Amino acid sequence: MSLIVILIVITAAVGVLAHSNLTRSTRGDEWAGPAFASKQLLFSEREFRSERHGLVAKVDRGYLNDDVVELLELKTRGFHRVYRSDIIELSVQKLAIEDVAKRTVSETGFVLTESIRDRTRKLHTVNLLGEREILALRDRRLAILDGHTEPRSSAAKGLCGDCAYLQECDKRRTA
């Protein structure tokens, strides 16, 4: 065989493999289960900055389903559990995507937990918070950081100990 024929065969093989990978990467992730297998992956690890709302969100996964974006948050945990912070995170993502990408985002989001113990996965469906609730949380955070509002301790054990603002809270409480 001539060198030209070999190069054509190699180029064709690389093209077929590249097309296969591209097609696979734009469809739902297999590891997310059958609920996402037929949906088109639209966003993966993408940041959205909403100037209008003053919010920044990093989206784990956003899938297109009948012109509506469905959000998936990935979490590795000791237990298959959804926390309020997961719902807040997905809700901020929704507002940021709607503002920046001008896309309709579902009122329902998904949290996929993977157990660190046995690597099992469980898909949780959650109802997202509305714009008013998210903006109220944003405003409260800003008021705390500006010193206009006193922070409250978390009702969940251990959260305050791991908080990035613990020293600031302690200073305010003792002042």
Q: What is the pLDDT of residues 41-94, one digit of tens each?
A: 999 999 999 999 999 999 999 999 989 999 999 999 999 999 999 999 999 999
Is this structure's pTM higher than 0.95? no
Instruction: Give the pLDDT band (50/70/90) at residue 37.
Output: confident
The pLDDT, as a whole number, for residue 51 is 92
The mean pLDDT of the chain is: 81
CB 128: neighbour CB atoms within 10 A? Answer: 22
The pLDDT, as a whole number, for residue 126 is 97
Which residues, at least 6 apart from 88, have a Cβ–Cβ distance to it below 8 Å?
129, 134, 137
Residue 147, beta-bridge partner list? none
**Range of lowest pLDDT (110-119, 134-143, 160-169):** 160-169
Q: Can you give the residue ranges of every domain in the chain?
A: 3-129
- Over residues 138-147, the mean pLDDT reads 89
59, 45 contact by CB (below 8 A)? yes
Helix (H, G, I), strand (E, B) or coil at 155: coil
Q: Is 144 exposed, middle or buried (0-12, 13-18, 19+ CB in 10 A)?
A: middle
Domain 3-129 listed as CATH 3.40.1350: yes
**Range of lowest pLDDT (6-15, 19-28, 94-103, 145-154):** 19-28
